[in-house]
Chains A and B, each alone.
Chain A
């Protein structure tokens, strides 16, 4: 029966040992360990949540920059388009102006040419008239020595004049 009879000595020492353990370990081991564990868990949780936040922030920034890029691209496109339009307009305008200018110049040149032509013709005509008169004078002077010849000449000349 010794096996199942608790001995007072061991009861006494076990009680003392247990209370020493619970007080010393409770104060100097369990308390700091539990505290450290709780703190570490808290810090890990904080780190995780802040990482999550950072990730969210990053995606937000990414989205934002993408949006910005999109807007910028669209703007660039419109600017380019406008520039092209402008260039086309400018070219077209320039062409029109050049054309009208050229037309004007051509018209002017034509007028000038006509004027010159008229002037030249007039001069030619007067030259011809003068020459005809001189020739007529010389012929007349030669022909007029003979009356009959004079008349025939006059008649021929007249004929010629009418022809020209």
Chain B
């Protein structure tokens, strides 16, 4: 809490710096390596073709992997780790197949992702033939070509790696907080004990340092939302830092995850917007002839707040994952254990910082959500101060 207190005055600056830094790295990363990956991919395919001409068809998969091993591609590895996938890579050539759930015009399709053999084979059900192309499920027509029109009609709601990780987090959260709640029921009026005493300061922190200063008297109404958001983000951040199963998925660094949370925050802000909030947008305190300029800006501002929330969390967590994976990749790029002497301690250092960031980002998201809700709740008398 001390550290947080220290950061508080510079919070906005800190957020800005974080966002800019991580956004830069994320964007530059997103632009560059994808192209690289494409060309690498083409090379790999070419090599596979060469070898497959010589070797029997069965060994095509292994030679593909040999080609991969010869040419270590860090951006491909990192991208594979931070994006979603339909199976959960455990170790070596072992992955956990996950269920594929497709909502198609011809009905719901449920089957295991193991049918795709790591994306190398197509799978035909009673309705369609599916294949995984660049991590996405596509429909193939009878000529084994991608049927774009049919692909657009199916909705993929599979239990992917991220969804699976998300469900593990939800289970953990439910287990932790239901048992803590039980402890409160069993120990009425007594001092907290065990796990309860670990959780309690955090709950009190969210209540006294996040909710109360920003929301005032009406804080109690938003406590469930703030606490859920805080712990949901935090546990997913922490799970992402575990390098192996059941962690390691980049859930809170996925734009879909942050988008949902930002959207829910946006809905809460908008629903709770009072007279003052709306008058700030549609009747700002400026001369009337500035209205055509200012009202669109204010309306734009309504949306930038949740979008900033969405991008901040996504970029920070993704950047953290990229950083750790890049440092580890150094060992494989140089193919030298000597690099590990530098890379491993540095990775440990970054990981420790990521532990802080995991908490900090959960705190910042909750804090800003509380701040925006507080602004929406503003009472008319406060306006006189402007």
Q: Which A residues are within 8 Å of any B CB, using their own CB? A: 1-15, 17-18, 20-22, 24-26, 28-34, 36-37, 39-40, 43
Q: Is the CB of B188 within 8 A of A2?
A: no
Shortest distance in angstroms between A132's beta carbon and chain B's nearest beta carbon?
130
What are 6 A-B contacts with C-beta separation under 8 Å? A3-B82, A8-B256, A9-B156, A13-B163, A17-B167, A34-B203
Q: Give the distance to chain B from A54, nearest Cβ to Cβ, in Å.
A: 19
Pairs of residues from A and B, 7 with the lowest C-beta to C-beta distance, nearest first: A6-B256, A10-B256, A26-B224, A29-B177, A36-B184, A14-B260, A29-B181
**Among B203, B256, B261, residue most surrounded by chain A Cβ atoms (within 10 Å):** B256
Counting chain B CB atoms within 10 Å of each CB, which of A2, A8, A20, A22 scores highest? A2
Q: Which among A4, A10, A26 has the greatest number of chain B C-beta atoms within 10 A?
A: A10
Instruction: Assess the A3–B255 pair: CB atoms within 8 A.
Output: yes
Q: How far is the CB of B82 from chain A (nearest CB, A)?
A: 7
The answer to whether B204 and A37 touch across the interface, beta carbons within 8 angstroms, is: yes
Extra 19 A-B pairs, beta carbons < 8 Å, given A30-B224, A43-B189: A1-B30, A1-B34, A2-B83, A7-B160, A9-B156, A13-B159, A13-B163, A14-B166, A14-B260, A17-B166, A17-B167, A17-B169, A20-B170, A25-B174, A26-B224, A29-B181, A31-B224, A33-B181, A36-B185
Which of B104-112, B225-233, B288-296, B355-363 is the contact stretch?
B225-233
Q: If A21-B174, A29-B178 touch, does A5 touch B156 (CB 8 Å cutoff)?
A: no
**B178 and A9 form a contact (CB under 8 A):** no
For B178, what are the chain A residues with a Cβ–Cβ distance below 8 Å?
A: 24-25, 28-29
Are B174 and A11 closer than 8 Å at their CB atoms?
Answer: no
Contacts of B227 in A (CB 8 A): 25, 30
Chain B residues engaging chain A, CB cutoff 8 angstroms: 26, 30, 34, 79, 82-84, 101, 134-136, 155-160, 162-163, 166-167, 169-170, 173-174, 177-178, 180-181, 184-185, 188-189, 200, 203-204, 207, 220, 223-225, 227-228, 232, 254-257, 259-261, 264, 314, 318
* A12 to B261 alpha-carbon distance, docked (Å): 12
Q: How far is the CA of A46 from the CA of B317 in the complex (A)?
A: 45
B-side contacts of A18, CB under 8 Å = 228, 232, 260-261, 264
A21 touches B232 (CB 8 A): yes
List of A residues within 8 angstroms of B232 by Cβ: 17-18, 21
Measured between alpha carbons, how far is A141 from B83 in the docked complex, in Å?
Answer: 187
Contact B255 A5 (CB under 8 A): yes
Q: Nearest Cβ distance between residue B159 and chain A, in whole angstroms?
A: 8
The answer for the CA separation of A32 and B173 in the assembled complex, in Å, is 16
A26 CA / B181 CA spacing, docked (Å): 11
